[in-house]
Structure 1
C-alpha cells in the first residue's frame, strides 16, 4: 500500500516545513519540501507530527491495565490511539505479587501482538508516606528475587519499575532491574537528595511523574527533585494536565532538563474518555469530578483523565514550547527511553508511519498507525 500526504506542515526535529511525505508498506519512504511530485491526499495545510509515545498509562475507555483484562485493555489502547498515542506502555499499580504477576502475564500477550510497548510496575516497592493512590496494605520491601518472578511473568515485556530508593533492598533491586534490561524509575518516594543520588548511581534513569508523590523542592533540603533534574542521565516524566503540576514548575523542569530529558506522560486511568463518575484504580475507589480523578478516601490525586494530544497542545499553548520541541517531549524522547527511537518518535525516512494530523489549533484530525488510518482526516 502506498500513500502520499501532500500540502502538509511537516514537523521534524529540524523544524517545520511545508511539504509532503510518502508511505509504503507502513514505512515512511520519502519526505519532501514544497509540492508533492505526484497525486496524493491533501491535508489542507494541517500539521503532521509523529505519533505520540506514552510511557506511563493505566488505561482508558473503562479499561484498566491493572486488572489484566485483555479485552478492556484493547478498549483503552483504541481510545488513546484515536487521540494520537500510537505507542504506549501499560502501567500497573500496587497489588499482591500474585495479582501483579497475573496482570503482567495477561498483558504480555498484547505486547506480543504489538498493541503495547511494554509493562511498567508502578509499585509495590514504594514509600507508604508517598503512596498516593496505591493500596498501602499491599506495599512491600524491594527484593531482587521477588522482582525476578514478576519479570518472568511478563515474558520479556517488563520495561520499567518505579521504586523508592530509600527502602531496604531498593538499591540491589534497581541494579537487578537494570541488568535485566528494565528501566528503573525513582518515584512515590520520601528519599532525600543523597538517597536519590544513590538510586541514580545504582542505575535509575527515570523520574516517575516528577514533583508528584515525592518531597517538594527545597532550598536547604533539595530532595529528589533537584537530584533528578540535575543528573544528565535521568529522563523526567511530567503530567501536563493543569492539575498535577503548576505550569510554572513544569516550565522550570523543562528549562533544566530540556527536550532531550523531558517526557510528557498521561498517567491516565480508566475514566479517561468517559467523564465524571465513580471508578476503581487497582483496589482503590476513585471519584472523577470536573475531569479530576481523586481517591474517594483521602482525596489524593489518582492518575488522570489526560490524553497525549491535550498534553501536547498544552505544551505549545500554555508552556510556550516550539512545535519541534513539543514533538520531542511527546514522541522522540519517550521513544528513545524505550529504545525505539530508530523506528518511531520522529518523521524520517525508514521509520514507521505512525503519524498524527493536527489542525491549526492542534486538535487531532487524523491518526495513522504503521501506515493504516486509525481515524482519517
Structure 2
C-alpha cells in the first residue's frame, strides 16, 4: 500500500484559494499539495469524496466540554479524549480543552491531564486553555467569585513549568489581577495571554496588550464595553490592530450588528475568530449540567444559570460558521477562515494548522452543499463520518 493518499472532492478550499475538481495529497499525516485529478500520482491510494467540498479542519480555542463531559468536573485524560471526539462530529480537528475558574486541586489535575494527552498525542488535542482564576469578580459571568483571585508567584511558576510540557498554552486573565511583569513573563515563555472577564479601563487594557497579551476572550462578553469617553477592554481590543479576539457567534451572546462592527474593525494582522465556549452538552441531548455545585439549564439554544446568567454556549463550530454566512452575510471563505486559519494565527500555530497548503497537518472537514459535516479527518485519518 502506498504512503501517499489522494482525497478527491468537487471543490477544495485551502484557506486561501478554491480548487475545482482537485485532489488533496497527503503523506505521513501532512499535506503534500493540491493537484488536478488528472495529475494524481498513479502510485497513490485514492479516496473519492462525492459532493460538497473540503475545507481546513476547524480550530477551537475555547472548549469547556463535550460528549457529556465537562472538563472542570472530570479533569482527566479520558475526558480530554471524549471532548475531542465529540467536537470532531462538528468539524473541529484541533482544540484547547478549557478549564473554568476552579480550586487548586482541579487546576493541578487538569494540568496533569494535559501533559498526558500531549505525551500520547490524543487526536485533536492542541493544548490547554486556563480561563481563570485570575479574573475580575465584577465581570465574573458564570465563574465562581469565591474562587477568583490575583495571580501570585506560585501560580506564575506553575504556568511557566506547564508550558514546557504542552504544545500550546493559553491563559485568560483580567489585567486587574495580574501585573504587567507577570504578563510579560508569560508571553515571553511562549504562553498566549488573553484578556477576559475584566472590568479594566482602556489604559489598563492597552498597557496589558503592550506588555505581551495578544488576544481577547469572547469579545463583548464579560468585559468592560466601548464607551465614548472610556473605551474599555472592547475598545482596546478593537483599537489595537495586532490583537486577536474570539467570538461566540450564536445570535445570543453578541448582537449581529456588533459582530458586523467588530469585523470591520479587525482587518488584520489581528483577526476576529470563532470559538464555541461549548460545555458538556455538545454531541448529546442532555438538558442540565453541573458546574461548581450550580445547575446550568439548556433551553432555546442557550445555557444559563438559575439567575439567567449565560454559562458557556450551546454551540458547535459548524453551527457558528452557518450563523455567520446565513445571518451576518459573511462570505463563506471568510467564515471558514474564522473557524480555522484565524484561530491558528491567534495561537501562533499557523505553520501547521488552519490551512491545507504543503506542510500543514492534513486535518480537514468534508462539508455538504448545505454546510453540514459529512466527515472529519485528523492527520490524514478519518475520525468521523455522518454515513
Give TM-score, length-normalised by structure 1. 0.93
Counterpart of 1:32 (choices 9, 32, 35) is 35
Is 2:322–2:371's contact at 8 Å kept on the other side of the alignment? yes
1:262 counterpart = 2:288: no
Distance in 2 separating the partners of 1:259 and 1:282: 38
Q: Deviations over 1:185-241 (max 9, x none)?
A: 110000111111111111110000000001222223221111111112210100111
Distance in 1 separating the partners of 2:294 and 2:238: 31
Q: CA deviation at 1:317?
A: 2.1
In the alignment, what sits opposite 2:119?
Answer: 112
Q: In the TM superposition, what are the counterparts of 1:337-348 in structure 2 within 5 Å?
A: 337-348=346-357
Distance in 2 separating the partners of 1:175 and 1:14: 33
Pair 1:243–1:137, CA change in 2 (3 A): same
Is 2:135–2:176's contact at 8 Å kept on the other side of the alignment? no
Q: Which moved more, 1:361-370 or 1:253-262?
A: 253-262
Secondary structure at 2:340 match in 1: helix
Counterpart of 2:252 (choices 221, 232, 243) is 243
1:5 counterpart = 2:7: yes
Secondary structure at 1:217 match in 2: coil
Distance in 2 separating the partners of 1:87 and 1:21: 19
Pair 1:13–1:70, CA change in 2 (3 A): closer
Is 2:76–2:109's contact at 8 Å kept on the other side of the alignment? no
Distance in 2 separating the partners of 1:223 and 1:294: 25
Q: CA deviation at 1:282?
A: 4.4
Pair 1:367–1:259, CA change in 2 (3 A): farther
In the alignment, what sits opposite 1:210?
Answer: 219
1:350 counterpart = 2:356: no
1:89 counterpart = 2:96: yes
Pair 1:36–1:63, CA change in 2 (3 A): farther
Alignment size in residue pairs: 375
Q: Deviations over 1:256-281 (max 9, x none)?
A: 11375122111111122223522023
Q: CA deviation at 1:98?
A: 2.9
In the alignment, what sits opposite 1:163?
Answer: 173
Counterpart of 1:74 (choices 65, 70, 81) is 81
Distance in 1 separating the partners of 2:265 and 2:236: 12
Is 2:274–2:338's contact at 8 Å kept on the other side of the alignment? yes
Is 1:270–1:281's contact at 8 Å kept on the other side of the alignment? no
Is 2:29–2:362's contact at 8 Å kept on the other side of the alignment? yes
Across the aligned residues of Structure 1 and Structure 2, the Cα RMSD in angstroms comes to 2.0
1:182 counterpart = 2:191: yes
1:193 counterpart = 2:195: no
Q: CA deviation at 1:283?
A: 4.4
Secondary structure at 1:4 match in 2: strand
Is 2:225–2:235's contact at 8 Å kept on the other side of the alignment? no
Pair 1:28–1:149, CA change in 2 (3 A): closer
In the alignment, what sits opposite 1:321?
Answer: 330
1:152 counterpart = 2:161: yes
In the alignment, what sits opposite 2:49?
Answer: 43
Structure 1 stretches lacking a partner, 5+ long: none
Is 1:20–1:35's contact at 8 Å kept on the other side of the alignment? no
Pair 1:256–1:155, CA change in 2 (3 A): same
In the alignment, what sits opposite 1:365?
Answer: 374
Distance in 2 separating the partners of 1:7 and 1:189: 45
Secondary structure at 2:220 match in 1: coil
Is 2:301–2:314's contact at 8 Å kept on the other side of the alignment? yes
In the alignment, what sits opposite 2:23?
Answer: 20
Distance in 1 separating the partners of 2:6 and 2:268: 29
